[in-house]
Structure 1
Amino acid sequence: MVAIGPVLHIVGLLMSIMAVAMLLPAGVDLIVGNSDWEVFTGASALSLFIGVSMMLSTKSPSATNLSLRQAFLLTTLSWLTIATVAALPFAFSQLDMTVADAFFESMSGVTTTGATVIVGLDHAPPGILLWRALLQWLGGIGIIVMALAVLPMLSVGGMQLFQTEAFDAPDKVVPRAAQLAGGISGIYLAFTAICATALWIAGLPGFDAITHAMATIATGGYSTRDDSIGHYDSALVDWIVFVGMIAGSLPFVYYLRMMRGSLRPLFQDSQVKWFLAIVAIVVCTVSLWNWHVLDFAPMQSVRYAAFNMVSVMTGTGFTTTDYGNWGGFPVTLVMCLMFVGGCAGSTTCGIKIFRIQVLYATAQVQIERLLRPHGVFIPYYNRKPIPETVSESVMGFFFLYMLCFGALSAMLAFIGLDFITAVSGAATAISNVGPGLGPIIGPAGNFDSLPDSAKWLLSFGMLLGRLELFTVLVMLSPSFWRR
């Protein structure tokens, strides 16, 4: 069996961190006189007690030396535990949410999905609104550390391409994660502060500026308003958030290098070039559509297209208008963009740009081999040959991604959801985007009216997508648990 003690020790530490984080919204509710401060305080005390108890009862020298299987278990168990603990304030708040609603909202937050079941955000307690933003902010930095320190070592979905950014040895995963968290936290916090200041100068209230900045850099999408960013109807606010979403979609390890004086890696990385090229092509295409077909003003066309298409592609999920009414072409493009995502080592979701590059290079080589059977052709990524194990891993990931999407869509349809809600709901969950398509879960709706069974399924889909599928599914194999 897998030795679970060291894993529980770290999970206990994470629970303790979440308990301390709950004191922030508790303080905000106490200041404004909202009774939910008692809920946050009680949930914090319970989480801290359980977390510290787990740490003390499992303390051992091997707590920082994890095997491969322990690393898999820790990754999944961490996100499940954090989502469960974070659901407590939702479940017992004045919002009177069901268990399914509370867990859905919490899982959507920590996975930076941004799908919500809360109706009336404009009048929701400030503590709850801050807690949602905190969950996404913490989930965002957690994803960066996982992508840089854990997934390359686990060889999940081709992430071994970035093995040079992480230690090879499994027993280095925890120290490496701590080092990365320390270095990246400063940059992550600085980006959030810059974005919040810019939004405040642009006219947002201080509280809204902070919460939206946290959701922007984390590419999460939780807003304090039912109409999302569209509530402010400000071109300046739109462009500030647009820049923040782009910043959160690029590899954070390059920001670390930039701080040390090395600017070239960011602009030489092919996945960054591909990402920016796709953004430019999509924005130009949809802008022209809005201008010529929908008679939008030229600058309005660019503004709406740039914000909403990048929001979908990066999995942020903010909206400024209901793009579901733009016609068949933009809606179809939105559906495709849900799967794309951003760069590896960022806060974004989806398949990721580097995997699309590997699939493209592999397919290109296969075509060349068909035309010239006796030729020798090698796929390249970043001007380096792609190892066969990476190609196989990426193809396996892509197949499993589409399989999970299809299975989740079918299960949602089986429990009574219509076609567009089931398909877009599955896509937005497994890609951690936020809003789906259609009148129910589209940009103008939310997930509140869905049955509890659909919310549990979508919550599992969010976890699957955020942890890159294999990290969760490998534990369903009986051989994982055998010695």
Structure 2
Amino acid sequence: MQRLRYLSTIVSDVGDLFVFVAPVTCVPLLVALLYAEWEMLIPMAAVPVIFFLIGVVIPSLPRQERGFRLSTAFCSVALFWFACAVVSGIPFMLALNMSFTDAVFEGMAGWTGTAFTMMVSLDTTPHALLFWRSYMQWVGGIGIIAFAIALGSSTGLSRSKIFRSESRDEPFLPSVMNTGRRLVKIYALLTFIAIGLILFTGLSLWEAVNLGLTTISTGGFTLHPDGILHYNNFALELLLIPLMIVGALPFKLYYLVIENRRFSLFGDMQVKLFLIILAIATAVVTYDLIFFTNLGLGAALHQAIFMTVSAMTTTGYQITGLHSWADVTILFFALVVFIGGAAGSTAGGIKLNRVGFAFQALFWWFQRVFLSGKVLIPFRIEGRIIPKAMAELETAKNMLIIILSVGTVAIASLIVIQFNASSYSVTETAFSIVSAFSNCGINTGYVSPAMPVISKWVFIITMWIGRLEVIPVVMLLIAVFKGED
């Protein structure tokens, strides 16, 4: 009974979020009207209607009054994201007769910004449904809850707690609502700029809008089965490189630019680390493509630069298939995808702030070991001195998330490999899992409508866990099986 009361509290806490997200999901209806796709009105209207009804009904459920707790925020956000994926799959079932599993997969890939897809006939898909895919990635890129907070949602949870539990960086303004609104404004501005620049490469407005949404959100969905290769447009590929990078850097930096604050772009730890890893990874992949795949220097550089940026920003665009790459290159590429982009951006992965913090903590630990115990060694991060107790706590938290992330990838890989089709190597299958966890979507070919149903659900859960950075899902599982801690 205690467990049921606790779960009812978790469910009740997300009611207002559903109400505020409902109008956000009405936008694809405008596309259906614009293209006179009358048959798409009911499938697309189903999403906001269901969100609104759930949001109205849930708060009326009996609940246990509780104070603000971060664990409750974690559970609520995890449940909310999964519910969004399920509801968002309804248009695919109604319009394309997709199976429930494939529809939920598409919804989860959309909201988590993963380029994997279960759709095989994109060129004949209605405009409203294509836009829905792009729009999900755009809203999900900055965070569904960030949008709800920006709209003024007032849940039973502390806004700052629910904001952070969506794997967001700390708010850079005193008010979380102001932070959410500022994020949305900056995000929209960057998106409009991206769309305008893409138009200059010769694409139509329809193509530019969809690519702009999925590039700034580092989502990776495209309008054609062969993705970016469909356009055969070198200028577009060159333009997408900086646009993907823009989406993978901390949005706080753009706020500082807009506010004319003094700051050094290259003084930011995550930016420095991003550029260093990107340069090293590009050099390694170029070398591998020349000596292991026998590409010429020009072709190797072309593939290496674009694919490495796509991998590290976790956008998922591809200009080549990985089946022609050597296993060692794919394994190295998996590491790049796993690291991902910056915290406070739309990118996935374990985030550069954790990698940077881990190296700083390791260096600090070795200093303490090899110097005299009487010498106090301060822990410095980006010029700030962190108290010893806080440094040790943050180190433990970072290592916990990294270990849980590695464990999630390992377990998911083992399960999927049991159902692996014989034409795909263990390396290719494991890479696909890493790509799902980091919400990237670069595909070795394993992820397709033909893969086993159990593998599809493993990928759905892996994308969900990766987007929320493990902890919220763990807390939800504890609540389901154990009840209140």
- TM range, normalised to the smaller chain? 0.7 to 0.9
Q: In structure 1, which of residues 428, 435, 439 is the aligned counterpart of residue 435 of structure 2?
A: 428
Which stretch shifts more, 320-329 or 366-375? Answer: 366-375
Count of residue correspondences: 459
Is residue 242 of structure 2 the alignment partner of residue 235 of structure 1?
Answer: no
Q: 1:416: how far off?
A: 4.3
Counterparts of 2:371 and 2:251, CA distance in 1: 41
Shift of 1:426: 1.9
- State the AA in 1 paired with 2:32: A
- Are 2:393 and 1:394 aligned? no
Instruction: Write the distance in 1 (CA, Å) between the matches of 2:206 and 2:419.
Output: 39
CA contact (8 A) 1:202 1:237 kept: yes
TM-score with structure 1 length normalisation?
0.86
- 1:90 is matched with 92
Note the C-alpha offset of 1:78. 2.0
- State the distance in 2 between where 1:23 and 1:143 align: 19
Give 1:218's aligned residue. 217
SS at match of 1:477: helix
SS state at 2:339 partner: coil
Q: Distance in 2 between matches of 1:143 and 1:364?
A: 37
Correspondence list, 1:263-274, <5 A: 263-264=262-263, 266-274=265-273
Once residues 145 and 49 of structure 2 are traced to their aligned partners in structure 1, the CA distance between those partners, rounded to angstroms, is 28
Contact 1:313–1:337 at 8 Å: present in 2 too? yes
Cα contact 1:114–1:220 (8 A) shared by 2: yes
1:451, 1:291 → 2: CA distance? 35
Specify whether residues 26 and 149 from structure 1 end up closer, same or farther in structure 2 by C-alpha distance, changes over 3 A only. farther
**Amino-acid identity (%):** 26
Aligned to 2:122: 121
Q: Return the match for 2:26 from 16, 20, 25.
A: 20
- C-alpha separation between the residues in 2 aligned to 1:261 and 1:19? 34
Change (3 A) 1:13 1:402: same
Task: Tell me what 2:154 maps to.
Answer: none
- Bigger mean CA offset, 366-375 vs 191-200: 366-375
Q: Quote the offset at 1:110 in angstroms.
A: 0.2
Distance 2:241 2:363 in 1: 33
SS in 2 for 1:35: helix
Contact 2:32 2:40 in 1 (8 A): yes
Matches of 1:451 and 1:247, distance apart in 2: 36
Query: What letter matches 2:236 in structure 1?
Result: V
Q: 1:147-177 CA deviation, whole Å, 9 max, x = no partner?
A: 9954785697xx8xx657376xxxxxxxx44
The answer for the alignment partner of 1:77 in structure 2 is: 79
Shift of the 257–179 alpha-carbon distance from structure 1 to 2, 3 Å rule, reads: same
Paired amino acid for 2:139: L
- Counterpart-to-counterpart distance in 2, 1:141 and 1:163: 14
The aligned counterpart of 1:140 is: 141
Which residue matches 1:405? Answer: 409
The Cα offsets for residues 385-413 of structure 1, whole Å up to 9 and x where unpaired, read as 45111001011111111111111111112
Deviation for aligned residue 1:130: 0.6
Q: State whether residues 233 and 320 of structure 1, in contact with CA within 8 Å, keep that contact through their aligned partners in structure 2.
A: no
1:256–1:263 Cα change, 3 Å: same
Alpha-carbon separation, structure 2, partners of 1:112 and 1:393: 25
Residue 111 of structure 1 contacts residue 466 of structure 1 at CA under 8 Å; is this kept in 2? yes
Q: Could you say which residue in structure 1 is the equivalent of 2:475? A: 474
Partners of 1:152 and 1:166 within 8 A in 2: no
SS in 1 for 2:220: coil
Unaligned stretches of 5+ residues in structure 2: 150-158
User: How far did residue 99 of structure 1 move?
Assistant: 0.4
Inter-CA distance 306–346: structure 2 relative to 1 (3 Å threshold): same
The letter of the residue matching 1:117 is M
Residue deviations 1:29-69, cap 9 Å, x none? xx2446333322344434433334446x4799x99x84323
Distance 1:426 1:109, change over 3 A: same
The secondary structure found in structure 2 opposite 1:380 is strand
Separation (CA, whole Å) in 1 of partners of 2:369 and 2:381: 21
User: Is 1:38 equivalent to 2:39 in the alignment?
Assistant: no
> What do the CA deviations read for 1:95-127 (whole angstroms, capped 9, x no partner)?
x21100000010011011111111122222222
- What is the match of residue 313 of structure 2? 314
Given that 1:16 and 1:52 are in contact with CA atoms closer than 8 Å, whether structure 2 keeps it comes out as: no
What residue number does 1:259 align with?
A: 258
Partners of 1:381 and 1:436 in 2: CA distance: 36
Amino acid at match of 1:429: A
Counterpart in the other structure of 2:336: 337
Take 1:263 and 1:108, find their aligned partners in 2: how far apart are those partners? 38
Aligned residues of 2:164 and 2:170 also touching (Cα < 8 A): yes
TM-score by length of 2: 0.85
Say which SS state the counterpart of residue 448 (structure 2) adopts.
coil
Which range moved further: 182-191 or 299-308? 299-308
Q: Structure 1 pair 317/110, CA: closer, same or farther in 2 (3 Å)?
A: same
Among residues 172, 188, 192, which one is paired with 1:165 in the alignment? 172
Q: Give how far 1:240 is off.
A: 1.3
Give the stretch that moved more between structures: 269-278 or 375-384: 375-384
Q: 1:277 Cα deviation (Å)?
A: 1.6
Query: In the TM superposition, what is the alpha-carbon distance from 1:141 to its structure 2 partner?
Result: 1.5
C-alpha contact (below 8 Å) 1:6/1:66 kept by paired residues: no
| Paired position in structure 2 for 1:452 | 453
The answer to whether the 8 Å contact 1:149/1:165 transfers is: no
Which segment is superposed worse, 414-423 or 389-398?
A: 414-423
Q: Residue 321 and residue 150 in structure 1: after superposition, are their counterparts in 2 closer, same or farther (change >3 A)?
A: farther
Shift of 1:249: 0.6
CA distance in 1: counterparts of 2:213 and 2:306, whole angstroms = 17
Q: Please show how residues 56-75 of structure 1 align to structure 2 within 5 Å.
A: 57=60, 66-75=68-77
Structure 1 residues 278-322: Cα deviation after superposition (integer angstroms, max 9, x where no partner): 112222333354456656555543332111111111111001112
Aligned to 2:384: 384
Q: Which runs of 5+ in 1 are unaligned?
A: 168-175
